[in-house]
Amino acid sequence: MTGPVDPDLVEDPYAFQRHVGFHMTGWEKDFARFELPLAPHLMNRYGIPHGGVYALLLDTVMGYAGCYTGDPDRRQLAMTLSLTTNFLGRPTDDLLIAEGRRTGGGRSTFFSEGTVTDGAGTVVATATGTFRYRKGA
């Protein structure tokens, strides 16, 4: 759905993002995509990704989906008001791909939905969320 990400729009990773290891692979109006190679520190005691990893990815892509401006000098930020996550399966390989889409909203809030798939295309989690734009970002 998306082409290469404009490097001028990509922010430097923050500390938690660097620790977890996810990175942006797509961003345009009403859409964002991040990828995460799985690593041992992301697994729960059953050896599968911790549910918080899915929630983190979904929260991130859905928020970014509503914040695209296309202008590196006009950055838009948002904060999560609600997040509902559904855990559907387990990945069959070592890559998670999260995609978020803005589905509606207005001047101060927006709505998004997201999916996490593995590299083979298996849907492992979905979510919906409500976000508020931050003023003065």
> With 60 as the cut, is the pLDDT of residue 1 above it?
no
Contact status, residue 10 vs residue 22, Cβ threshold 8 Å: no
Q: What number of H helices and E strands is found in the chain?
A: 2, 6
pLDDT score recorded for residue 2: 60
Contact status, residue 60 vs residue 22, Cβ threshold 8 Å: yes
Per residue in 95-117, pLDDT tens?
A: 999 999 999 999 999 999 999 99
Per residue in 69-93, pLDDT tens?
A: 999 999 999 999 999 999 999 999 9
Per residue in 22-44, pLDDT tens?
A: 999 999 999 999 999 999 999 99
Dig out the tokens for 125 from the structure: 């989690």
What residue spans define the domains of the chain? Answer: 15-133
pLDDT score recorded for residue 64: 97
Angle of CA points 55, 132, 85, to nearest 5°: 20
CATH superfamily assigned to domain 15-133: Hotdog Thioesterase (3.10.129.10)
The full 3-state SS of 84-132, as one line of letters, equals: EEEECCCCCCCEEEEEEEEEEECCCEEEEEEEEEECCCCEEEEEEEEEE
**Model pTM greater than 0.75?**
yes
- The DSSP symbol for 81 reads E
What is the β-pairing status of strands 31-37 and 95-105? antiparallel
